[in-house]
Amino acid sequence: MLNYDKGRIASGGLKVLRADTSVSRVVSFIEKQLAAFSNKELISSITNEKGLTQELCIFLTNHAKKENFPFMFEKEYMEESEKGGSPQVDIGVIMIDSKCYGNRKSFFSIEAKRLSKISKAREKEYLVGRMEKGKYKQCGGVERFKKEIHGKGIKYGGMIGYLQEYDFDYWRYTINSWIDALIEGEIPTSAQWSENDKLTEEYKYSTTAKFVSENSRKTGSIILIHLWVNLINSKSEKIQ
């Protein structure tokens, strides 16, 4: 589904590049499976981010095996496995039996965050970190990609959003308003922010939604694919 030509997409004017085949396949696969995952998790008592991500990794890997896709989803993937203190991205996607990715390097790294009204200190963690004991903690999902803590050397990354409260429109508006505040310097951050960091809508259904952003880094930029899953209801009609 990543048929992005060089140029601009009509919905938001965001310049994007055409994704490579491996990224396109894995994103399309995740998009398909998220609706089923939404239905599965409705009967679950899991609400915390780590538990949901663990279940999602198992769910996606099992379905990839059943459908003969050559990749697996590894939870808390170490960006630099030779270093014990390596940063860990929530989900690393690894090719199996591939000459191109024979070193088991993640070719598509994903951060996952709850879309819920959590504590005031942590509410913006989808984007940025927070001050803790006088020091800035770099725990923001998008920010970690911008700082190349995650996804260094890759052109495309992903954000999974677990919708637990309100709706997709609310969170897109809220997150983009936070980006406005980041641009104006009203929120502490360790990265530079611009209009391109804002989420541009690709589609919105009642169980899933997809957004795209182009996020600057020290070396160029990274295209982030934001895939959100509704864990509140299981209706599947498209929202008009």
Mean pLDDT of 170-184: 97
Supply φ then ψ for residue 158, to 5 degrees. -135, 155
pLDDT cut 90: percent of the chain above it: 56
pTM, two decimals, is: 0.86
Q: Which residues contact 119 (CB under 8 A, 6 or more apart)?
A: none
The pLDDT tens digits of the residues spanning 188-217 come to 888 899 999 999 999 999 999 999 999 999
Q: Could you give the C-alpha distances from 182 to 142, 157, 185, 193, 225, in angstroms and in order?
A: 12, 21, 5, 6, 20
- Kindly tell me if the per-residue pLDDT of 97 is higher than 80: no
The pLDDT tens digits of the residues spanning 13-59 come to 444 445 568 899 999 999 999 999 988 766 578 889 999 999 999 99
Mean pLDDT of the chain: 82
- Which residue in 155, 140, 143, 130 sits closest to 197, CA to CA? 143
Strand boundaries in 79-195, DSSP class E: 88-95, 108-115, 130-132, 135-137, 156-163
Q: In degrees, to the nearest 5, what angle opens at C-alpha 139 toward C-alphas 173 and 124? A: 25
Mean pLDDT of 74-79: 78
Q: Which residues contact 42 (CB under 8 A, 6 or more apart)?
A: 231, 233, 234
- Which residue in 158, 163, 164, 161 sits closest to 144, CA to CA? 158
SS3 assignment, position 53:
helix
